[in-house]
A = this chain, B = another copy of it.
Amino acid sequence: MSQGNLQIIDCPPKHLEDYHQFTPEIVDEVQTLANHFRGLKVAHVNATALGGGVAEILRCLVPLQNDAGLQSSWYVIPPDDAFFEVTKQIHNFLQGKEGALTPEQRQIYIEYNRFLGALLSKIDTDVLIIHDPQPAAALTFLTGAKPKLALWRCHIDTSTPNRSVWDFLLPFLKNFDHYVFTMAEYTNSAFPQDKISLITPHIDPLSPKNIPMNKEEAKNYLTRFGINPSQPLITQISRFDPWKDPKGVIDAYRLAKKEFPDLQLAMVAQMATDDPEGVRIYEEVKSYAKSEAGIFLFTNLPDNDLAVNAFQTASDIILQKSIREGFGLTVTEAMWKGAVVVGGSVGGIKLQIQDGVNGFLVNSPSEAAARVILLLKNPQLKSQLSQAARRQVLDNFLMPHKFLQYLQLFSKLNLSLLLPQPPNLPLPFRVLPP
């Protein structure tokens, strides 16, 4: 039934030394610890090479792992429409959607993963990291020897899944040696605590979206979109999706505008043109905005990464008024640029923003408006929060941290003992707390 082959993804090279300027201690620690895993073969497997946070992360992490001496590869599973239709359903079910998979859908999932298991069996690897539910059952169908470590990296919330779908998946998931989730709230009690590690998403400070941009240049760049650089600007960057509360953003803007009449609002979205739901909500938001002067709605800006960088750099305040949120990488990106973020008090936004310390957490449009007004009135407060915001990302959410966390996990699992010990290293190597 299924056909095609694994696609190995070539990434432009990255060099750890280039990250030294940002987090010297972390990079040094990565380099020291990576020496214990020189030659360790790591294979990442996921469902897509393009688009989405996972692909963005692997595009940086895999070349960095190679730069540090690991043998890291990234494989994308061959596309299959029927299979992807089923896994889209599974995704929704895991987030709590009611209903059940049909016997035919289960069959499609199993057969594709059986086929995938045969493909994965040809990979010679020490560590197999399978991302998300799509290829997760393939581990069960490996035909040869199992890797030394099989790890499920789950990026979605599995805490309250649809029961019947979870019961279907769990036997496959149980075969993994270890599990990595974004945060504690996303884990499922079916997995023993000692087999779970938490690693958040991270951003690449050297990607076009995050490379430092001069604030004046950024403001100038936005003039092409009609933004007036001499008037204050607040921006929300996110899909048009009810969970991002786009109407609440407009409400907050209108409240703040009463005090700052020349305030501008930009709402910037990447939108799949084949996503009818997204287009419908965009139209709703557009009609809600009533062509009001000062409100700018953008979809699919040219040079998206640079445009997002410019909006995050040039805005006085970034909103992320989500009602529900995974991690919220746009919050990380904005804080990294020293933007003060006023974010919904949900999900991963709470991991990033400490209310009143490096941004603000809010629960309603009026709260959001109050924080916007407070910040516009107090440039010094804004400047303090801005510095703390950048510090927060510098200390926790740059790609070298992620690399280090994986190395620490490998250490904890005693993986380096499985390799021939390099002769020139001080032994016993550092034992990290679990």
A interface residue numbers (CB < 8 A to B): 4-5, 7-13, 15, 18, 49-51, 76, 78-79, 206-208, 211-212, 214, 216-217, 220-221, 223-224, 270-274, 300-304, 306, 310
Contact = CB atoms under 8 A, between A and B. Distances in A.
Contacts of A216: 4-5, 7, 78
A76 B216 CA distance: 11
B217 A7 contact: yes
A214 to B, nearest CB: 5
Given A51-B303, A270-B302, A272-B302, A76 B217 contact: yes
A13 B270 contact: no
A5 B215 CA distance: 12
13 contacts: A7-B214, A9-B214, A10-B212, A11-B211, A12-B211, A13-B15, A49-B217, A50-B306, A79-B223, A224-B272, A224-B274, A271-B302, A272-B302
A220 B83 CA distance: 14
A306 B212 CA distance: 22
Contacts of A300: 300-302
Given A10-B212, A12-B208, A304 B302 contact: yes
A50 to B, nearest CB: 5
A49 B217 CA distance: 8
A76 to B, nearest CB: 7
Contacts of A12: 18, 206-208, 211
A79 B219 CA distance: 11
9 A-B pairs with the lowest CB-CB distances in the bound complex, closest first = A12-B206, A13-B18, A79-B220, A7-B214, A7-B217, A300-B302, A10-B212, A12-B211, A50-B306
A301 B273 CA distance: 9
Nearest to A19: B13
Contacts of A18: 12-13
B76 A8 contact: no
Contacts of A221: 50
Nearest to A307: B50
Contacts of A79: 220, 223
A67 B49 CA distance: 29
Contacts of A5: 216
A304 B304 contact: yes
A227 to B, nearest CB: 12
A216 B76 CA distance: 11
Given A216-B7, A221-B50, A206 B13 contact: yes
Nearest to A273: B302
A93 to B, nearest CB: 24
A216 B9 CA distance: 12
A85 to B, nearest CB: 14
A239 to B, nearest CB: 12
